[in-house]
Every structure is written in C-alpha cells, then in structure tokens.
Structure 1
C-alpha cells in the first residue's frame, strides 16, 4: 500500500469513524463511565420505586391520584444523565489532555470531519446505552411497584413515548456535553459548566419572579427531561417532543460554535 493510499484511507470518513470507535472502546474511562451511568440510572430508579412501594399505605389520597409509575421508575435519570454527559465531555477533552488530538489533526487535514466522526460514533453509543438503561429502569421499577402500587405497561397512554423519549433525551444531552467539551477543552471546566447548566441554573431560575421563572424554566434542559419522563402533560412546559426538539436545537448550535472554535485555533 502506498503512502498516499494510506493517507487517503485515514482521511476518509469511514476511516475516521473506525478510528473514533477504536478510541472509545479502548479507553478505560469510557467503559467505567458507561457502567456508572447504568448503575446510577437503574439503581436509583429502583430505589425510588422500592421506597414508594414500601410506603404506599402512608401516601395521601391526593398524591395517589397524581402518582405516575412511569416517571417514578425513571427517576434515576437525574444522575444518569450527568454520568453520560461526563462521558461526552471526555470523548474530546481526554484527547486534549493526552496530546493525541494534535496527532489526529496532523494525520487528518479537515478538523470538521474529525468532529463529525466523533459526533456520529458517540451519538450511536449514547443512544444505545441511554435506551438500554431507560427501558431497564422502567421494567425494574414496575417489578418493584407491582403488588402494592399502580403500575404501567408500555402499551399504556404515553408510556412508550416516555421511556423511549427519556433515552433520546439522555443521548441528546450527552451530545450537548460533547459540544461543551470541544468549546471549553478542559475536563474540569466543561463538567462544571455542564452541571451548572443542567442542575444549578434551574435552582437560580426559581429565585426570579414567578411569571419570569415560568417563561425561562420551560426552556431549560432539566424541565425538558422531566416533561419527557412523565406520561402526563406538565404546566408551563412545552410538549414532550417539542421540548426534545428545542434541546436538539441547542445541541446543533453548540456544535456550530464548537466547530468554529476547533477550526479557528491551534490543536
């Protein structure tokens, strides 16, 4: 094989996809973070379901009327989304920290193609993992709720939408985190920014006047996720799919900025 041919293969998009896949599956932190994501999401969801089942006899009548077994069995997403988001950040910042990103850019002339390859491979991984943990959380939660509390099935109204949609929400949010990693370039800084946007910002918004708080809150990723997890419509929020579309728009915007940063500065 000639040097020119080898270089063409490295720079082909399929070659880049193969390279990114090797990077993701060969790094220990990736496997560890995926395990943490599964444990946090399924484990906390199961604990939440167990807690409500054990105390169902003490639950008020008003709360029983509004009880959503689907949302309860997906409660672990609150922390699982953070773990998957951290993985998205590490997909890029780990290469920056080890210096391998410079080697990648030396071998591949188009930084945009490198970014697209990272997005594509990580999107596939994130969707598969997020959907697995979302469905596993649902089934584990319903098993623990069964016999003492109302339960849900995938054939119920909006249940399949909630479970599958929650997986998509986690995956898109993880891609958003990847974009933050590309922009910030430092693991600690990107993780801090991600946590602030997902968990801290909603708390700050509650301190605003109610009318302003409601207007802003409906656009926040945390609210979008909570809406997707529920089978019931939520007040002062977008519909589940509309909210997911807004989150997808945020992610596209963050990647446009990330690509500009990536192509306008040194590796």
Structure 2
C-alpha cells in the first residue's frame, strides 16, 4: 500500500498596510456612500434648496410676497432665489449629525477607533469627505436655483456679473457645508442624534429670534454675531444696517465651526468611546 503525500500550498502572507490619513479617508468615503440615509438626506436638502428658491422666485417675479422663514424674508431678487438656504441648512446639518452621532448609536464608533487607535484621523477623514461632497452638491444646487430663479423673475433679475452675486451663491454653498460641520461637531460632543439635531435647530433658527426679543436695545449689536446672522451677512447681496460686513460675517461663522470641531476633537481624544 502506498501513501500519497500531498504538499500543502504555500501560504501567501500579505504585509499589513500602515494606517494613514489617506486610507482612513478612503474608508470614510466608502462608509459615507454605503448609507442609504446619506443619499436620501442630501436629496432632501437639494430639493428644499431648489424647490423653495424656485417657488419664491416665481412669486417675486409676479410682484407677490415671496414669503420665507419669519424674519428672513427675501428683499431682493438674489435672496428670493436662495430662499431655500435656511431649510437646506437644517437638512445638511442633520446629515452631519447622522454621520457622526449615528456611529455612536449603532456602536460602529468602536470599530472605527479600534482600526484607527489615534482616533483623530477618523474625525478629520469624516470632515474631509463631508466637506468635499456637500460643498460640491450645495454649490451645484445653489447655482442651478439662482440661474433658474433669475430666469423666472425675468428682466428684473440679477446676473452672475452683478456685484455680490457670485459671493452670495458660492457663500450659500459655504454656509450649507458649515452647518453640516456644526452637525458633525454636535454629534461628536452629544453622541445623541435627537439631541444634536435639536440643539442645531435651536442654535441656527431659534436663538437669533429669542435674542432679538430678550436682549436690551443697548446690546442689540450682539445679535449680529450669532451663527445664523453671521452666515446671513456673508450670503446677502445688500447689507442691512445692523449686519456685519460680508467677510466679517464669514469669519465669525467659521469661528463657530472651528471652535465646535475643536471641542469635538478634544472629546473624541479623551473619551473611552
């Protein structure tokens, strides 16, 4: 009797790839697009931006009241086309919250920080992917609704070459992206999707109205430094008497974003997850 000896095939040992920022970004890119809620929320945000902008433009063109959120009704043709910004801010902000707080609710954050022990590269990767995608989508939406809205308004509409128009349209994309980054920061700090969304809504929509009612007239200038007011100053073509200058408004708004992201980074670095 003979015994057949089968030689075992040699095992191929693949070298372990070092974790770096580029690979973490690639991982977050895959996670970003693998979530159905991501696509749905972005679609809702664009529909709000374009839909309300076109509706307000059509009403502005026929001399009707263009409407808009209380206290932020459009007073010019550019503002009419960009009326949907305030609604899209909440949608993009919600997307930012879901991107960060959603990992805490599902427990995915444990896998993320186990794969990337230094932790902060995960946050930077989320911010990089979110900023690239949302700014591109928001800019496309703002450009489309402005162009279509001015066509609906007709002869009284504005053009891209008019003073402040390009800043308003591009600034809309910047503000929408910034609102989403605020959502990421709140999601990392609060680790609760409902809590972070509620806080974002209160800060971006309710705070300025409450402050205008409660703050004495001698302190009324404080209102212009609130996040929504500062963002509005940057995207406005015509500045109001109590508004910040456009670039000052952008600086204040980005200051809030940087401060909140910095707090989120500190929290992520020191927490046990």
TM-score, normalised on structure 1? 0.90
Task: Work out the CA distance in 2 between the residues paired with 1:2 and 1:257.
Answer: 41
Q: Is 2:212 the counterpart of 1:169?
A: no
Gaps (5+ residues) in structure 1? 58-65
Counterpart residue number, 1:241? 247
Match of 1:117 among 100, 117, 125: 125
1:228 CA displacement:
2.5
Contact 2:234 2:247 in 1 (8 A): yes
Task: Work out the CA distance in 2 between the residues paired with 1:190 and 1:90.
Answer: 9
Task: Work out the CA distance in 1 between the residues paired with 2:235 and 2:78.
Answer: 7
Q: Whose helix fraction is larger, Structure 1's or Structure 2's?
A: 1
The correspondence of residues 204-215 of structure 1 with structure 2, limited to 5 A, is 204-207=210-213, 208-212=215-219, 214-215=220-221
Higher relative contact order (CA 8 A, sep 6+): 1
Q: Is 2:103 the counterpart of 1:92?
A: no
Counterpart residue number, 2:35? 27
TM-score, normalised on structure 2? 0.88
Task: Work out the CA distance in 2 between the residues paired with 1:22 and 1:137.
Answer: 29
The structure-2 alpha-carbon separation of the partners of 1:186 and 1:56, relative to structure 1 and needing over 3 Å to count, comes to: closer
1:43-67 deviation per Cα after TM superposition (whole angstroms, max 9, x unaligned): 001111111223359xxxxxxxx95
Match of 1:188 among 168, 171, 194: 194
1:225 CA displacement:
2.8
1:97-151 deviation per Cα after TM superposition (whole angstroms, max 9, x unaligned): 111110111111111111111111111112111211111121121121115xx10
Task: Work out the CA distance in 2 between the residues paired with 1:226 and 1:210.
Answer: 21
SS across alignment from 1:146: helix
1:24-74 deviation per Cα after TM superposition (whole angstroms, max 9, x unaligned): 1110000000000000010001111111223359xxxxxxxx952111110
Counterpart residue number, 2:6? none
Task: Work out the CA distance in 1 between the residues paired with 2:87 and 2:147.
Answer: 18
Task: Work out the CA distance in 2 between the residues paired with 1:140 and 1:229.
Answer: 18
Match of 2:231 among 225, 235, 243: 225
Moved over 6 A (4+): none
Match of 2:77 among 65, 69, 88: 69
Task: Work out the CA distance in 1 between the residues paired with 2:247 and 2:210.
Answer: 25
Counterpart residue number, 1:102? 110
The structure-2 alpha-carbon separation of the partners of 1:56 and 1:105, relative to structure 1 and needing over 3 Å to count, comes to: closer
Task: Work out the CA distance in 2 between the residues paired with 1:169 and 1:20.
Answer: 23
Gaps (5+ residues) in structure 2? 1-11, 66-73
Task: Work out the CA distance in 2 between the residues paired with 1:4 and 1:137.
Answer: 50
SS across alignment from 1:266: coil
Aligned residues: 253
1:208-247 deviation per Cα after TM superposition (whole angstroms, max 9, x unaligned): 22231x3221111221232223211221221112211111
SS across alignment from 1:256: helix
Contact 1:42 1:140 in 2 (8 A): no
1:4 CA displacement:
5.7
